[in-house]
Chain A
């Protein structure tokens, strides 16, 4: 392995304030809940004090959004579009600042926040900006729903914000968004961007806090639409809580994706795809390829190659441009990854990690592979949401599909083969919303994303993503 000199990205580019309020009706205001701190998971240093929104604060935010809805929804689409284009441009202008802030608050490598998250965030706003004055051609009607209550996770904080806010605003809705408790900073910087863009007050409101704040957003009687990305467990609670209401709901939940490698696959490419599939963003990815299904005939060769490749991954300072694997987002998530990995060993799977120095401060988990995994093992069934790969083998394509579909989840899957007909045959039978063949973890604003089964419902991205924010009822049956 080559020696690399550290190449840290400067954190001077971003100004973190000592404390942040809630963003309601175009202004930062105090929260009435007890403030909490957000930390850098790579060093455990405190970054800022964050206001917590109580139910009363959420109510004020919903009222602001309701008031703004009248004018925002009546505004010509072309004008709404220009606000979104403006926001997209400011995001590009301040991309470096946002990327550094994201890496500081989340722990993800700067290489990813800079090259993946931020370009996708800007692209998402550009994409939906263009829809705002073209809704009549999309096939879902042109009537917005009203106030959207949106709750997003900590794994791609700003990207998930973009996935939620851009289509909502393009369709003429206003939003109250709750970022994750551990990663509120880029959402709060986004609030400043809304101010810079002269977005009318109340169109975007950001309320920070933990689960209770999220519940207040979801359960507010004047919210017309609930959009949630997060765990299947919380998704279930939300689905239950909106029962009997008129609220429209979309849920993007957990996954346990199979990544199928057939014996004729291009092995070097497959190894890169497997690494990208499970170690991208420390495995904090709902669509991560966390179950490797490899054809028995090539299992030995593939695993040797994969282990060799893992030996070259660099774990450490997220702001170092050489870093491949950053910090685990929180102590709680680290505990969960450890618990499930320990269960993997206890249930009889064999654990392997490359030799890898673990920093003294912060939350870290080395890239880990489990072999000898049975379908009944917890590490083959439960979402770990960390850099942990479970390896299973198969003999026939039918067995691969059977094992791949043997999960209550259905978000994504991967297929590696050089034979086009086998690829399409497999893709056809996989019960999942996104199939990456001979690639993995690709995202684009034009491409619909979302799951089957317990991975949730609704699509984000593409023309399909508009449906979640429009009242498509055609008045008849």
Chain B
């Protein structure tokens, strides 16, 4: 029969100390990821707490010397997927050409990237951009958050998501296309509202 070895107070103190040093400093980056995943602060707070409590509980499963931040990200992502699994959205129809045609016309009139960006996406606000990101299917959303917002390399993102680099590349490719389409639609709809 297999029985685990006992713990004692010194082990517990050491564990707490290690956890404080290695895991707690990543709280802000995880909080931002939670915000982009859930799209609202209340769920983000819950998800963050769940992640850290789980991480503490399974701290002995964390291999010292490996990437703690990536390990915490995986816990958060799995917690999120488990919690919201039932709420998976069906992918909507995406028309990539709409934005491309529009871009093609404005490109002739301007060569300045800032100006183009403004014509495309108007004055979208932070929370509208967040909503657009939150609307992406999770697999694309996570990769867009990691690479485009957090600025991780494909290699780092692959470690975080635990998948090959090629998968990161293809999800990022698709994710950016979905995102630009959403942003364009948001800006477009908003434009109509303003004009009305």
Same complex: no
Interface residues of B (CB under 8 A from A): none
